[in-house]
A and B are shown apart, each in its own frame.
Chain A
Amino acid sequence: MSVENVLSARQCGDLRVIAAMMIPANAEYEVPGADDPVIQADILATLGRDVGQVSEALDHLARIAGAPLAGLDDARREVIAKEFRATAAASAATLIRVVLQCYYRDDRVLRSLGLELRPPFPKGYSLEQGDWSLLDPVKARPPIWRRAP
């Protein structure tokens, strides 16, 4: 069964709205919001073992809201979001994590942050040696370890 079928249309809709509340699009930084279709598709495609907790979080959210989030005004959504985070700690944390982990691997977001669009391996990164003379005052100290009988 695909994840899309595990999450209902109502859950998917609420997920989009809550994700946009977390991270809205921003023209200044040229980044999409977390409700962007590509990011949402990544979330749904990679929910994997988190699907149960995310589904539970969205059900809890629906109970608090009493209606699809998309149909509520901003002020009401803010109240619901606060209550959601306060009353569904574990599952809410999972939902927030899956949004963040997909958002911060999106090409457009990484580009905006000045990060390369690749995994660490095989290219790795360069690391400057740094100023080893900083260690001179420490080298000048007498031994500070405690001798044992």
Chain B
Amino acid sequence: MNDPVDVLIIGAGASGAAVAWSLADTRMHILCMEQGGWMNPAEYPSTGRDWEARFYGDYSPSPNIRARPEDYPINDDNSPIKVVNFNGVGGSTVMYTAHFPRLHPSDFRVRTLDGVAEDWPIDYDTLAPFFAENDRMMGVSGLAGDPAFPPTEPPMPPLPLGRSGALLGQAMNKLGWHWWPSDTTVATTDYEGRARCINLGHCTPGCAQGAKASTDITYWPVALRAGVELRTHCRVREITTNEHGMASGVVYYDKDGVERFQPAEVVIIACNGIGTPRLLLNSVSGRFPNGLANSSGMVGKNLMFHPYAQVYGYVEEPTDSNRAPPTCLWSKEFYETDTSRGFVRGYAIQFGRGIGPVVEAIMSEGKGILPWGADHHRVFRKLNGHRLAASAICEDLPEEHNRVTLDPVLTDSHGIPAPRVDYSISANSAKMMEHGIARGREILTAAGATDICVNSPIPYGGWHLLGTARMGNDPERSVVNEWGRSHDVKNLFIVDGSVFVTSGGVNPTSTIQAIALYVADQMKRRLADLFD
């Protein structure tokens, strides 16, 4: 048996890194276990001529396609949106677009404002200082003064508009709609040891330059210097409990596949909205026969993605194509509820600068706009380097039938039952997507685009894994309380996207990390009576 630790964190991604860093100043013995290893940026796809092809192989965002030893399979056959993630130090911050909006103040009050779902037990103002702290730690580039959001102070200037951004900005101005340069964790200046962006363009599957913030190069180096221990290639099978109903530690497989027990005084789960319910449901015992922390029956339920409705087209002018970070602007014109649209809540629009030649060819052939035969070359030259995209990222509301359970057959390489996802797009989300597609067409038409195509939903677009262990004041309707502690197990905390009550209509990483910092802060304030 290993020596006991004060705090055991499971998962070294966006939230695990943030909570580890914040708790380090307690000088407790903090151990983080991560099923993957450290990434080597010299091996990222953008360093080789096969950089685009690897997106379909060992750097696919889908764990089922990527199938690295660190990955676990996910049965998402019964979902139109497939789960995408990354496993390793840094988690899915290694493989994300670095688009970094925050949830809006209204997102925390959906029941009060719109009569749907439930209000969060916390609000934007509570998280505001943690958003700012996270912006400093991750290194956010952006422009203050967005009229669609409360004041913020990004520590670095925004990414350049480029050709694509200017074309899209002109189109939005023609329509009189809001747009703004995105907050992004791509460094536009040298920042805290990170080199500035040099426009590798292929940002999502790892940034070889280190300009894109992933927690392996932001939080973790600082946390390790402060004394946090990070143990890689350790896959946790279950959380164990003692005779008092408290978490006592975890059973895990080490890098050699040997089963071990790690005792801990406090356990913090940071495994994302799929991995966290999977772990809780795998942690059954006589006292917790339906899985740990699941007296409410809510573990695994209320899974929310953000259904993406993507519209793209082709302009005569050359765009930035793959030669810049892929996202550059957002619009919040349709973010807040307007019931005249036929749905409640709303969506942000995320604009895309363009893509590289291989992906362009594959996508266009698949859409039937790039022919086989003699005309292939002429058409490809019209498409390649001329794409603009607008994606509506739609707020998904919680529904209990959208859920994560354990697959009765599928297991990972250690024999641990794999997660199964059952998910369907709600009528409200579908109306929102239709609205977004219509607006996207208007935007691209205003930009002069033709050959307009639609991907709705983006099938491999399940980046945002939310709601499956939600927070709340009512133990019968939620899994953790308003500061992340399990209602059932007083020394068990959850800090990842599974605690989201609703999803908002923006990328969630910024909010996930702000919540992790907030929970850590609450723990530090309550150390004397943490388990009361």
Q: Is the CB of B208 within 8 A of A121?
A: yes
Q: Is the CB of B147 within 8 A of A100?
A: no
Q: Is the CB of B323 within 8 A of A127?
A: yes
Query: Which single member of A113, A134, A144, A145 contacts B173 (CB below 8 Å)?
Result: A134
Q: Is the CB of B180 within 8 A of A138?
A: yes
Q: Is the CB of A132 within 8 A of B161?
A: yes
Q: How far is the CB of B80 from chain A (nearest CB, A)?
A: 16
Chain A: residues with Cβ within 8 Å of the partner, total of 54
Chain B: residues with Cβ within 8 Å of the partner, total of 74
Q: How far is the CB of B329 from chain A (nearest CB, A)?
A: 10
Contact with B along A19-41 (1 / 0, CB 8 A): 00111101011010000000000
Chain B residues with CB under 8 Å of A119's CB are 46-49, 51
The answer to the question of B117 belonging to the interface, with a C-beta cut-off of 8 Å to chain A, is no
Q: Is the CB of B377 within 8 A of A31?
A: yes
The answer to the question of A101 belonging to the interface, with a C-beta cut-off of 8 Å to chain B, is yes
Contact with B along A79-96 (1 / 0, CB 8 A): 001000000000001001
The answer to the question of A146 belonging to the interface, with a C-beta cut-off of 8 Å to chain B, is yes
Q: Is the CB of B161 within 8 A of A131?
A: yes
Q: Is the CB of A128 within 8 A of B104?
A: no
CA distance A141 to B147 in the complex (A): 7
Q: Is the CB of B113 within 8 A of A146?
A: yes
Contact residues of B between 125 and 178, Cβ < 8 Å to A: 143, 145, 147-150, 159-163, 165-166, 169-170, 172-173, 176, 178
Chain A residues with CB under 8 Å of B159's CB are 127
Known contacts A21-B373, A81-B372, A146-B106; A121/B163 CB under 8 A: no
CA distance A68 to B128 in the complex (A): 67
Q: Is the CB of A145 within 8 A of B150?
A: yes
Contact with B along A98-135 (1 / 0, CB 8 A): 00111111000010010100111111111111111011
Residue of A124, A137, A148 most packed against chain B (CB within 10 A):
A148
Known contacts A21-B372, A120-B201, A129-B161; A134/B169 CB under 8 A: yes
Q: Is the CB of B112 within 8 A of A148?
A: yes
The answer to the question of A8 belonging to the interface, with a C-beta cut-off of 8 Å to chain B, is no
Closest 7 CB pairs of A and B: A130-B161, A124-B198, A125-B323, A120-B200, A130-B166, A148-B109, A134-B169
A to B CB contacts below 8 Å, 25 in the list: A21-B372, A22-B373, A23-B376, A46-B50, A49-B67, A103-B361, A104-B52, A105-B49, A110-B357, A113-B357, A115-B357, A120-B201, A121-B46, A122-B209, A127-B162, A128-B161, A129-B161, A130-B160, A134-B166, A135-B179, A138-B178, A141-B147, A141-B178, A144-B178, A145-B106
Given contacts A23-B377, A138-B147, A138-B178, 17 further A-B contacts (CB under 8 A): A23-B376, A24-B374, A28-B377, A50-B57, A97-B56, A100-B362, A113-B385, A119-B46, A120-B46, A120-B201, A121-B44, A121-B208, A128-B160, A138-B172, A139-B145, A145-B104, A145-B336
Interface residues of B (CB under 8 A from A): 44, 46-53, 56-57, 67, 104-106, 108-109, 112-113, 123-124, 143, 145, 147-150, 159-163, 165-166, 169-170, 172-173, 176, 178-181, 197-202, 208-209, 320, 322-324, 332-333, 335-337, 357-358, 361-362, 365-366, 372-374, 376-377, 381, 384-385
